[in-house]
């Protein structure tokens, strides 16, 4: 199963559109979002996603009530951590910040986190993947990125939106 992963959009509408285009072109079957849409103006581009979305709030959401209402037509938006098992059995946990995940108590195969705005993929001692897709906005470090994750092969690709 191919999964699109993004975070930290911070209302950068053009890069949100680029992320949506990337996920649709790649034909992802699921999209995971790890927080910081920021405001409801970020929602309309997400309606063009061809795959369902499972998301968590970040620490910069300015209007949670508005985001929750607008997100209802896009997918699921919940407080972190969000746990999800996909049909092939891969167990995800999604949180904006790593500290929101109780590492030893949570049973998961893949953790999706954000907050640092820097793309990073690591594997812990329990062979669990930790994926930070970086910042979709590109505001902080000038590199707008998303991630593509294949659940069967466990291959992660960090995609630079500027080169797509």
CATH number at residue 31: 3.60.21.10
Local structure of residue 47 (DSSP, 8 states): T
The verdict on whether omega for the bond into residue 14 sits within 30 degrees of 0, i.e. cis, is no
The whole-angstrom separation of Cα 15 and Cα 36 is 14
pLDDT band (50, 70, 90) for residue 103: low
Q: Which domain holds residue 69?
A: 2-163
Percent of the chain with pLDDT over 90: 92
Alpha helix ranges (H) inside the chain: 13-26, 43-46, 64-71
Mean pLDDT of 13-39: 97
Long-range contacts of 87-91 (CB under 8 A, 24+ apart): 87/1, 88/1, 88/151, 88/152, 90/1, 90/151
Its pTM stands at 0.97
Q: Is 26 exposed, middle or buried (0-12, 13-18, 19+ CB in 10 A)?
A: middle
Side-chain-side CA neighbours of residue 161 (13 Å): 31
Give me the number of domains the chain comprises. 1
């Amino acid at each position: 199963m191919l999964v699109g992963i993004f975070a930290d959009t911070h209302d950068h509408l053009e890069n949100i559109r680029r992320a949506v285009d990337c996920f649709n072109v790649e034909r992802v079957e699921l999209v995971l979002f790890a927080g910081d849409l920021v405001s409801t103006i970020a929602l309309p581009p997400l309606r063009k996603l061809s795959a369902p979305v499972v998301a968590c709030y970040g620490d910069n959401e300015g209007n949670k009530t508005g985001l929750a209402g607008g997100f209802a037509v896009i997918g699921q938006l919940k407080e972190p951590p969000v746990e999800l098992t996909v049909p092939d059995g891969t167990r995800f946990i999604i949180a904006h910040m790593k500290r929101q995940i109780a590492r030893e108590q949570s049973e998961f195969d893949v953790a999706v986190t954000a907050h640092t705005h820097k793309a990073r993929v690591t594997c812990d001692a329990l062979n669990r993947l930790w994926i930070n897709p970086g910042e979709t906005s590109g505001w902080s470090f000038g590199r707008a990125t998303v991630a593509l994750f294949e659940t069967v092969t466990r291959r992660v690709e960090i995609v630079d939106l500027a080169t797509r």
